[in-house]
Amino acid sequence: MNMLNVALPKGRLGERVYAMFEKAGFACPSIKENNRKLIFENPEAGVRYFWVKPSDVAIYVERGAADIGVAGKDILLEYQPDVYELLDLKTGICRMAVAAKEDFRDDPARPLKVATKFTNIARNYYAAQGRDIDIIHLNGSIEIAPILGLSDVIVDIVETGTTLRENHLSVRETIVPISARLIANKANFKFKNEPIEAIVKSISEQMEALP
Amino acid sequence: MIIDENVLLSDEIAVYRLRSLYRSYGYTPYKMSKFEEYDLYVRNKNFLVSDNIITFTDISGKLMALKPDVTLSIIKNNKDTPDTVQKVYYNENVYRVSGSTPAYKEILQTGLECFGRIDTYCISEVLTLAAQSLSCISGEFVLDVSHLGIVSAVLDSLGVSPAVREELLRCIGEKNAHGARAICEDESVPEAGIRMLQGLIAAYGDPKTVLAALDDLLPADLAKKERQELAAILAVVPGDNVRLDFSVVQDMGYYNGIVFKGFVNGIPVSILSGGQYDRLMLRMGRKSGAIGFAVYLDLLKELNRPAAEYDVDTVVLYDDSVDMGTVRDTMQSLIAAGKRAVASRSLSDTITYRAIADLRK
């Protein structure tokens, strides 16, 4: 049977998004069982879900292993996968921002040292301003980079700002608002158009019904 | 000798079928050198799929490139014939970065180009050949067609700056209606304009239905000529597999009018891409119009043909005690009976076989 393959990000966001798919008529009750399985399918509904690392969803979709998936806008901006971005799911809301030590003063005469996981986003943001920067790619605990003098600023996702505050950092500029997006593989969109359009329509209606 | 298609790989089958198809429509083969002056690509960088090019200095000191593209070379080397039509097809290796792997690849590409006086028939013939090319590769295919004149007219009507227009064009390519709305709202585009743009992004389906929907969506005089042209062209293109999809966008600095992309089930990206590129012709000092497409045959490797159950039907085992003539006769009689056979001194772990013919004493 020609199943619709859906890549969901592991974690709370994925669970919230699954509820939307369930309401859209693509339920898969086994997904709620508490086990370590990563792939769940419901042949009657014609759907197969799999949990993947959030930053990998776009890869599964771009390469067609998943027909559709849910990925953060941060990942789409950073990796620019060749996919359709069909819906803003208005969940997983945060922002990509520049943060620095509370007492940091920028000196435009020298390159700005920027620590980040999102090197492409940071590079594009400062290139648009014509600012010379020195990018430092880190994989985690970005907040300590300015404290230890590794960088002047950081470019990272800010949700509530608690981590920044606790480390005496503050947001200087917001680069772009982030939320979860429904993405689709460009080729599979043509060959599984009916179920994909049905999901898009139902989830849009669910979001419109929200207060 | 009749070639058994079972022994050919998907891309090899496609090469023969496509060559035969293009020849039957009077397209003549075009052969060219593997190298081209680098300067040609520098001047037309955005026309290329990828701007990574392998360069080298030839013995006269000129900076040369291993061809990353075929179309530019054909235009450069062909005479300008604005009053007649030239139709050529090619089957060439190009060298560029393909897909998300950051490495150069040799890519087998086939395609056709039509130069000169391009009329409605020429365009519909190229679209028909694009659809037939896809059907040569797979029974399950879709040819998505767009008209850049319509997309351009809608964007013009919004009255936004060139930078915002580029952003909106990217949203159209991503079918990103919410992103387009956010950009338009930031630019204070009137609600009617936003709805029109979102309608264009959402429009997808069989040409008749989408064209009728466009008539309701767009003001009567907006892109009227282009809509009529699109309807006239698609009325002549046969097949249920053609879809109108305005997310097919090509660089507007080079392309104009009809653009299209082809997909086959089982390959996650488009395997055929083309369109009218009168603007590229103008940039290269030509008066002719042009339309063409390329089929990326390297992608066909993803269409897995079912692997044979066994590597060979029979292993013919021999040693020094066996007369070599007997080995030859055994092999020939098996092959004549349509079997795949291999002569070997011993059984190997690396091949699988259905039967053994042990000639050893």
**DSSP of B252-276, one letter per residue?**
TTT-EEEEEEEEETT-SS-SEEEEE
Please tell me which of the candidates B178, B243, B267 has its beta carbon nearest to residue A87.
B178
Q: What is the enclosing helix (H) or strand (E) of A7?
A: strand A4-9
pLDDT of residue A38: 86
CATH number at residue B173: 3.30.930.10
Flag whether B69 is in a domain: yes
Task: Give a yes or no: residue B24 inside a domain.
Answer: yes
- Cβ of A88 and B178 within 8 Å? yes
Q: Is residue B203 classed as helix, strand or coil in its secondary structure?
A: coil
Q: What is the DSSP string of A57-99?
A: HHHHHHTTSSSEEEEEHHHHHHH--SEEEEEE---S-EEEEEE
Look at residue B100 and tell me if it is in a domain: yes
- In chain B, the number of structural domains is 2
> Is B247 part of any domain?
yes
Q: For every one of its 361 residues, what pLDDT tens digit does chain B have, with 9 covering 90 and above?
A: 566 666 677 788 888 899 999 999 999 999 888 888 888 888 887 777 777 888 999 999 999 998 888 888 888 888 888 889 999 999 999 888 876 667 888 888 999 999 999 999 999 999 999 999 999 998 899 999 999 999 999 999 999 999 999 999 999 999 999 999 999 999 999 999 999 999 999 999 999 999 999 999 999 999 999 999 999 999 988 778 999 999 998 888 889 999 999 999 989 999 999 999 999 898 888 999 999 999 998 888 777 666 667 889 999 999 999 999 999 999 999 999 888 899 999 888 888 899 999 998 7
Q: Are residues B173 and B318 in the same domain?
A: no
Residue that is written with structure tokens 């159209």 in the block:
B172
| Residue B195 within any structural domain of the chain | yes
Nearest residue in A to B269, CA atom: A187
| B271 and B317 inside one domain | no
The pLDDT of residue B39 is: 87
Instruction: Name the residue of chain B whose CA is nearest to A88's CA.
Output: B178
**How close is the nearest chain B Cα to the Cα of A89, in Å?**
10
Q: Are residues B135 and B165 in the same domain?
A: yes
Range of lowest pLDDT (A140-144, A172-176, B72-76, B222-226): B72-76
Nearest-angstrom CA–CA distance, B328 and A91:
72
Contact B263 A83 (CB under 8 A): no
One domain, residues B96 and B215: yes
B136 plus B183 within the same structural domain: yes
Among B185, B269, B303, the strongest candidate for a mutation testing the A interface, having the largest count of A CBs within 10 A, is B269
**Cβ(A23)–Cβ(A68) below 8 Å:** no
Q: Are residues B221 and B346 in the same domain?
A: no
pTM, two decimal places: 0.87
Q: Are residues B65 and B99 in the same domain?
A: yes
**Cα nearest neighbour of B244 on chain A:** A190
- Report the residue of B137, B176, B240, B264 to disrupt the A interface, i.e. the one with the largest count of A CBs within 10 Å: B176
pLDDT band at A189 (very low <50, low <70, confident <90, very high): very high
Q: Are residues B131 and B209 in the same domain?
A: yes
Evaluate whether A83 touches A183 at the Cβ level (below 8 Å). yes
Record the tokens describing residue B344, joined without a space. Answer: 């070997």
Both B341 and B204 in one domain: the answer is no
Nearest to B98 by CA among B144, B134, B51, B142: B51
User: Model confidence over A44-97: pLDDT tens digits?
Assistant: 889 999 999 999 999 999 999 999 999 999 999 999 999 999 999 999 999 999
Residues B151 and B42 placed together within one structural domain of the fold: yes
Residue B82 belongs to some domain of the structure: yes
Q: Distance between CA atoms of A170 and A44, rounded to whole angstroms?
A: 51
Six-digit token string for B168: 């909106």
Q: Where are the alpha helices (DSSP H) in chain B?
A: 10-24, 38-43, 71-77, 120-137, 148-158, 162-173, 177-186, 191-202, 207-217, 224-236, 278-283, 324-336
Q: How far apart are CA A90 and CA B348, in angstroms?
A: 60
Contact assignment for B174 to A64 by CB distance below 8 Å:
no
Instruction: Give the domain extent around B291.
Output: 5-299
- B108 and B238 fall within a common domain: yes
Looking at the domain assignment, is residue B73 inside a domain?
A: yes
Query: How far apart, in whole angstroms, are the C-alpha atoms of residue B198 and residue B257?
Result: 21
d(CA A131, CA B8): 55
Report yes or no on B84 lying in a domain: yes
Residues B272, B155 share a domain: yes
